[in-house]
Structure 1
Amino acid sequence: MGLLRVLGDYFLLLRRVFSRPQKGKLYYKLILREIDSLGVNSIGIVAVISAFMGAVFTLQLAYNANNPFVPNFLIGLAARDSILLEFSSTIVGLILAGKVGSNIASEIGSMRVSEQIDAMEIMGVNSASYLILPKIVATVLFNPFLTILSIFVGIFGGWLVGVFTGVLTTQNYIEGIQHTFVPFYVTYALVKTVVFAFLITSISSYYGYTVKGGSIEVGRSSTKAVVVSSITILLFNLILTQLLLK
């Protein structure tokens, strides 16, 4: 019953979020601000983690495929598919659930406990739409860019460490990257990214918007938002993989 109640409250909140905005121009400015806050500020951590993970993928594959019967270009192929299919969408989504999700939950939760949201409601403002909709739109629009960035940086990081450690040549790596490339894998990664962006933002906003109490409860709601977002991402990763790759 507790889960059903939470789901019911969550969908009721989404109904308010997607109600028709009263001032469209104001929302345009809010979306740009959220793109900078939630998207642009995440470029650094996504790039750094992607570079290192691409390097780790390449090294692990190279050392585990140390067999004269296994062609070296398969290292680049396996690294490419690992980054495309899972890392740049799912793993980056989990990272953003921790960074962006906790930020959203704590921001909205602080406004709730300080009664700023109540003041907005008294003035006749749809606080759910005003606070949450720009965040959802910003992440859904910008997170695909983060995924593309992660793919390129991850593949570049794999090439860099592979060549400088001598485990494979540039020619072998590029041959593996190009070998039997499936363009739909990029579409698959972007679809997952959009779904994950919506889940992270809406779930985190829900826990922040419905928090009760003081600063301690805000911290707890932020933790719950990260945990629930991460579990939901893993669940939808399974569902989308079954639907899109079967």
Structure 2
Amino acid sequence: MRIGANNDPLQVIRLQAFLKAFEKFDYVTINGVFDEVTQMAVMEFQLRYKDDVLTPWGISEPTGYVYITTLGKINQILCGTGIPGVQPDKVIKDIKSATGKESAGFKEGMGTNTLSSVPVIGSATDSGPKGQNEELDDPWWYPENLTAALFTWPDSGTELLKSLYELLLVLIVLYILGNVLESVLYKEQTTEGNKDVLDTIASDRFKAKWWTIAAGLLVAFGGAYYLERWYLLLPLLIALIATIAWILTRSKHEKLKAEVKKLVIITEKKS
């Protein structure tokens, strides 16, 4: 990966999440774009671990290219794996003519036909190195994929407003859907009868409504990932967890309402 290249956004997100969370480059924005800020963080990372990243290539200046030794060092930190060895002379000889040679000398990370031995971010290499393109086929439920996506945030005020609008729209639609399903399933239920029957009806209505909302949030989470709306993932996950917690603690709701009512009365008396 490097600035200006056709990088895979998910792998850039992994890289940015690593730089921000593990290496404390707080100025990095997790947006899936290999921008100048990401390049600057990569260069600082290369200098921080220059003995492992730059020295094997016979260079001392950072390049901003995320290639064999840079990826190897990242994976060593994440997974405890070793850093692949390199043969600079062979790599330089194999540099593709479309990329060309840099006038200042070889830069770690230039495109070569030796990419089959390049590891991927967050992947152990116990059974041998994986190909550069192999990680593009990783299923979305891989932990490293989900973790990287969850740490993605809007990188501008406009995107933040857009994400809030989309999140609010999803929540409103699901809440309405839950109410509609509750009404349709239990519209014929009587409101009269003994307390046990009424409690059972109320419990069923409650579960129908809120489990519908929970299922909708789960579907919305998968849809947001598929549509690459990374910034919606964490809010939707929090909403899903909160909804399930609300369902599982139903028995305490009346007590909670009583406590809130009591607090309101006390506040009114003081005022």
Q: Which structure has more RCO (C-alpha within 8 Å, separation ≥ 6)?
A: 1
Normalising to structure 2: TM-score of the pair? 0.30
> Whose helix proportion is higher, 1 or 2?
1
